[in-house]
Amino acid sequence: MLLELSDSQLVLVDYQTRLFPAMFEADKAWHNATVLAQLAQRLEVPTWGTAQNPSGLGELAPAISAHCQRVLAKMQFSAMEEGLGEWLQPEPQAPKGNARSLPKHLQKNIPGAAERKTIVIAGCEAHVCLLQTALDLLEDEYEVWVVTDACTSRTERNRDAAFDRLAGAGAELLTTEMVGFEWLRSAEHPEFKFWQGLIT
């Protein structure tokens, strides 16, 4: 099963300025998150950021937040507890035209944007905010794809324990390059050269 571009949304969890110095291999994780955000914007993949207690831990890194539709400030560790699910699920729109022209049983809401049930997620700390958000997404019946080389924790062991638990819960594990190549599918894709420039 390959990642489907048309069904994807990207969630980038807590890449915050004051967390950076404490994270294991933070430079790699932040770089890969920025690459994901840039490609997602180019391919029109809805992209959402989160920031845990921003008054204490700083804002989401500007290189990442610049590519997000919105950034959710939160205190709960799971972003789903703070309303992320409402952003991921488009609200239905009321029917256009004169509602009186239709019988009541035919007056139905029409969907807004196409529903995208595949969530590509990366962030820190992997064993806390990323893990809890991803498990809640799985519980809400989203397909969850965790970008391992864009995730980190204060220790390598905590990060890897999160991956083990997420895989056991049904999440797919992949890398930044796997995301890009699966979204594009072909060297003939119009954005392939842009993608090459991001990873070379």
pLDDT tens per residue, range 26-74: 999 999 999 999 999 999 999 999 999 999 999 999 999 999 999 999 9
Asked whether residue 101 is assigned to any structural domain, the reply reads no
Burial of 90: CB neighbours in 10 Å, binned 0-12, 13-18, 19+:
middle
Asked whether residue 21 is assigned to any structural domain, the reply reads yes
Domain hosting residue 19, numbered range: 5-90+114-199
Which pLDDT score, from 0 to 100, does residue 13 have? Answer: 98
Asked whether residue 100 is assigned to any structural domain, the reply reads no
More confidently predicted of 170 and 115? 170
CATH number at residue 168: 3.40.50.850
As for how many domains the chain has, the answer is: 1
Asked whether residue 13 is assigned to any structural domain, the reply reads yes
Selection from 164, 112, 119, 159 nearest residue 139 by Cα: 119
Task: Dump pLDDT digits (tens) for 119-128.
Answer: 999 999 999 9
Asked whether residue 109 is assigned to any structural domain, the reply reads no
Which pLDDT score, from 0 to 100, does residue 102 have? Answer: 54
Which pLDDT score, from 0 to 100, does residue 90 have? Answer: 75
Asked whether residue 102 is assigned to any structural domain, the reply reads no
Which pLDDT score, from 0 to 100, does residue 101 have? Answer: 55
Residue 111 confidence class, pLDDT cut points 50, 70, 90: very low
Asked whether residue 104 is assigned to any structural domain, the reply reads no
Is residue 93 scored above 80 in pLDDT? no
Asked whether residue 98 is assigned to any structural domain, the reply reads no
